[in-house]
Structure 1
Amino acid sequence: MAVSLLTGQVSDLCLGKPALKSLSISSTIGDALLALKRLGENFISIWSCDQHHHNLSAVDRGFKECQCVGKVCMVNIICFLCKEENLSNPATALQTPLSVLIPTSPCLVRHLEPKASLLDAIDLIQEGAQNLVIPLESSSKTLSRKKIVQGTLSNISTLHNNNRQYCWLTQEDIIRYLLNSIGLFCPTAANPINSLDIIDTRNKMALHYDNPASSALPFISRSLEFQASVAIVDSDGKLVREISPFTLNYCDEDVAAAIATLSAGDLLAYVDCGGPPEDLVQLVKKRLQERNLEQALELVEEYSSGASISTSHSSSSSDDEFGMGRSARWMGYSARAVRRSEAIVCYPWSSLVAVMIQALTRRTLSWRCRKVGNLRVNPDAPRCGFSSKVVNGLREAGVSFGWLDILTDDEVRQGLEVISNWLTIPQPYYKGKLVGGCDIILELKTMMSRMPELKTMCV
């Protein structure tokens, strides 16, 4: 059965996928900014051809003439605007050709035929691909929807190569697909991550809480390539928060001014859901004035009053029509992400499936940490908030479990301290292996309601 899973066609994963919205490589950065906001997309695909040339003659000249060459997101635009020369004149910077944001190496986005196997897709991802572009079966319904969108935003298209539509698969799509058949991967899925050689220790990116946020720009750019986050640490080097591309993608371009003027710690408060605090907005304005960045100051002032610099690039349609004005973006972030910029952590002995579920639920990476909390008294009367949540989560999921009072056994207690650098551990074990902490248990509980097999395998 595992063999049939891996040899299945990638078209199976494309069912229900929306057609890619696209821009031509000849478009401007302002066009991409407007498209991201108006369409509510996290990324927009960039194609080598003019999207209006999807006729037979164009196809006859060769498929390679019209290929997806990359993708652009809000983080790309924010990093571009953070450059001193662009921050001094954002409106002019937005007229720059979109090609400057597309890496010369095309490995991040790869084309794949719908009959290719899942194993082929996994091979491309292991080679560094983040998005796999797959042709979709055309239908009158999807084409009519395309016409509605294209009639509103004339430079946005979903059609290429003789009216063909495409979707793309991400690493997340494939992991979710594999998770539905996680039982086929036993016992590997239940093994601790520190036994699988999958902890990335080479591409760690960290910044001190009080350092200028601008010093994180190289890290933020790299975080897109590695699909990682930038760790924010305190004076002792302990992880306290993170700057995540996932969070920045729900921000607007005024964040470029915040990155240029605030500390890393203040930036975290600026981008947290709900919008920036007024005192930080005023601090950004003050520092922009001190640096004579008048046009960047206008950008922040326009956003603080609910306007947008991108209106100069917009069509006659209003932001309300699309629901993607300033306030709508922040409300959308609050409703969809439902989290701040706290880092999500796991432990070396957490199981692979637990970390997978944790990462997919939060849609971010998990930081591997060493220390954990402690379970006080017993499951019937826990005196610790985390311990109480773990106990209640297991009971609500219908999981039977026992407990051991380690406070009365010095040998067990010392052994636990060796592996965790802490006195006691509140996490459940399964067949002698530690499953995870409070966050992981609660996320497992949610998954168990949809996937009962996890109940017997993981806890």
Structure 2
Amino acid sequence: MAVSLLAHVVISDLCLGKPALRSLPISATIADALAALRNSEDNFISIWDCADHHAAHSVSVNVGGDHRSCTCTCVGKVCMVDVICYLCKDDSLLSPSTALKAPVSAILPKIPGLVMHLEPSSSLLEAIDLILEGTQNLVVPIQTKISNYSRRKQLQKPTTAGFATTIHNGFEYCWLTQEDIIRFLLSSIGLFSPIPALSIDTLGIINTDILAINYHSPASSAVKAISRSLAEQTSVAVVDSEGTLIGEISPFTLACCDETVAAAITTLSSGDLMAYIDCGGPPEDLVRLVKARLKEKNLDGMLEAYIQSAYSSSASSSSDDESSSSPPRSGKYSRSMSYSARMVRRAEAIVCHPKSSLVAVMIQAIAHRVNYVWVIEDDCSLVGIVTFCEMLKVFREHLGSMG
């Protein structure tokens, strides 16, 4: 029954109500990407290549019977974590302002197939197969009520805050992610009985190949692990000497911060970094510690940028307090230094146990807006991690066996 019902599901069904992508051209700088991310409600900005040489290799897209030739391609995505990790590099530490002038391609993930275009009429199974092959974001054209006149006006409109137009090839586009598909499968979970009630241990989907760092280790030693966890849509576990899970350094949390977190990563321990990025903003004692250590390391450029960011945030907060009638600042960075009030995420890890059921772990991950859940024993010792990708493998294998 599951196969016959889901065989008729097309990905446009999952795109209903999704917002159009904000985007930047491949010619943009990292500073442009930073400005765009500061003013976006999405953690990611899509990067598009509309170079003339694509015209000779254009393809046709059909949305609701509307056929158009496509000469623009989404070549990837960037988020605040990409910027933060880039600023943590040795060359960037000396002069962050110079580093931000580099092209956005410098922080664009080099993993092939991370972002893929897909027709709205493609099946759900096609989307799942692409994700299992390594795709994180499916770029799908969406049908809107925008008139041709409105399209022309938007294309002519000057960009603001680093944004380019949301329209490419005459269409608006949206992301389709692992979370979207897991949410959809959860809404039809009864079709897969009895699999959802089985434990994650029984299903064999606990991955023991995890990224971890000691609580007392320098946070700077975790930069490569943070980059990898972003690419794999997981996280970096923070453990003690006995392997007990204490917390995490999550790309999902870092994406809600600003670029000044690079200074904290450069100067603090992993344990202190968890406290620094925890919801509510960084403690004052850690802010002072970051400044002192930047000065000790002679990182004058980063120290200047860090102090300027703190001053700007303080001035903005004072201005907001003095004028309650003034409208709130737009975007997710309308908050105190290094913390986004839009999405409260703590450094406390989301956990389950080996005997937790698949459906319980699915609900837990979706409720916390993460793509993974840590697996621990009763004594809090870390066993592994369960990801959306592993969950999708279970459902895909089940559908394949029934087909």
CA distance, structure 2, for counterparts of residue 95 and residue 335 of structure 1: 28
Matched, 1:205 2:206: no
CA distance, structure 2, for counterparts of residue 142 and residue 261 of structure 1: 52
Is the 1:274–1:331 Cα contact (8 Å) retained in structure 2? no
**Residue 66 (structure 1) shift:** 1.6
CA distance, structure 2, for counterparts of residue 159 and residue 326 of structure 1: 25
158, 165, 179: which one aligns with 2:166: 158
Is the 1:38–1:322 Cα contact (8 Å) retained in structure 2? no
SS in 2 for 1:19: coil
CA distance, structure 2, for counterparts of residue 58 and residue 70 of structure 1: 16
1:352-367 map, 5 Å: 352-364=358-370, 365-367=372-374
Moved over 6 A (4+): 329-332
SS in 1 for 2:39: helix
**Residue 168 (structure 1) shift:** 1.3
CA separation of 1:178 and 1:284: change in aligned 2, threshold 3 A: same
User: Identity across aligned pairs (percent)?
Assistant: 55
> Paired residue for 1:240?
246
Matched, 1:98 2:91: no
CA distance, structure 2, for counterparts of residue 129 and residue 152 of structure 1: 29
Is the 1:210–1:264 Cα contact (8 Å) retained in structure 2? yes
Is the 1:23–1:156 Cα contact (8 Å) retained in structure 2? yes
1:116-265 map, 5 Å: 116-140=122-146, 144=150, 147=154, 150-151=157-158, 153=160, 155-161=163-169, 163-202=170-209, 204-265=210-271
**Residue 95 (structure 1) shift:** 0.6
> Paired residue for 1:267?
273
Q: Which digits, 9 at most, give the CA deviation of each residue in 1:172-192, with x for residues without a partner? A: 000001100111111000000
CA separation of 1:127 and 1:292: change in aligned 2, threshold 3 A: same
> Paired residue for 2:13?
12
1:59-458 map, 5 Å: 62-63=58-59, 65-140=71-146, 144=150, 147=154, 150-151=157-158, 153=160, 155-161=163-169, 163-202=170-209, 204-307=210-313, 322-324=329-331, 326-328=333-335, 333-334=340-341, 336-337=343-344, 339-364=345-370, 365-371=372-378
245-254 or 6-15: which moved more? 6-15
CA separation of 1:275 and 1:220: change in aligned 2, threshold 3 A: same
Greater relative CO (CA pairs within 8 A, separation 6+): 2
The code of the aligned residue for 1:158 comes to T
Is the 2:281–2:339 Cα contact (8 Å) retained in structure 1? no
**Residue 139 (structure 1) shift:** 1.6
> Paired residue for 1:39?
40
Q: Which has the higher strand share?
A: 2
Is the 1:243–1:268 Cα contact (8 Å) retained in structure 2? yes
Is the 2:212–2:238 Cα contact (8 Å) retained in structure 1? yes
> Paired residue for 1:415?
none
Q: Which has the higher helix share?
A: 1
Is the 2:281–2:336 Cα contact (8 Å) retained in structure 1? no
The code of the aligned residue for 1:14 comes to C
TM-score (norm 1): 0.72
Q: Which digits, 9 at most, give the CA deviation of each residue in 1:129-187, with x for residues without a partner? A: 110011111322798599399545175111111x2111110000000011001111110
CA distance, structure 1, for counterparts of residue 149 and residue 41 of structure 2: 20
CA distance, structure 2, for counterparts of residue 255 and residue 168 of structure 1: 27
Aligned length: 356
CA distance, structure 2, for counterparts of residue 166 and residue 27 of structure 1: 20
CA distance, structure 1, for counterparts of residue 126 and residue 93 of structure 2: 43
The code of the aligned residue for 1:2 comes to A
TM-score (norm 2): 0.82
CA distance, structure 1, for counterparts of residue 41 and residue 131 of structure 2: 26
Is the 1:289–1:297 Cα contact (8 Å) retained in structure 2? yes
